[in-house]
Amino acid sequence: MIKAAGVDEVTDATFEDEVLRAGLPVLVEFTAAWCGPCRQLAPVLSAIAEEERGRLKVVQLDVDANQETTVAYGVLSMPTLMVFRDGEPVKAMVGARPKRRLLAELAELADVR
């Protein structure tokens, strides 16, 4: 998995506590080591995690090592970005995107810029 700086990794074992029970909206990147677009997205996720700290939690989940969560949310393509609020997925986006576009998509959600 390509680790984005400043972005925590979650697993099947920690997903419920770290994502579903989080007090903030959570942006989850479903990623894999072999995924080229995921590498492109890493610096974008790092920047958003820093800029939105306190309003949005950003985490990554390695799909190869965490099949249970990947299957549970029907993730088929990498990267898939999914926003969770109050334990429920509220938005899903597939594919890498520039920071400006991702922020605009996140802005559609009330709690994030």
Count of other CB atoms within 10 angstroms of residue 107: 10
Residue 113 lies in a domain: no
Find the catalytic residue in 2, 4, 38, 61: 38
Point out the catalytic residue in the list 35, 44, 48, 81.
35
Domain-located, residue 45: yes
Give the predicted TM-score (pTM) of the model: 0.94
User: How many domains, the chain?
Assistant: 1
Domain residue limits at 58: 8-107
Tell me, what CATH number does 64's domain have?
3.40.30.10
**Residue 24 domain-assigned?**
yes
pLDDT values of the chain reduced to their tens digit, one per residue, 113 residues: 778 999 999 999 999 999 999 999 999 999 999 999 999 999 999 999 999 999 999 999 999 999 999 999 999 999 999 999 999 999 999 999 999 999 999 998 765 44
Known catalytic membership, residue 38: yes
Is 35 in the active site? Answer: yes
pLDDT at 113: 45
What is the pLDDT at residue 110? 61
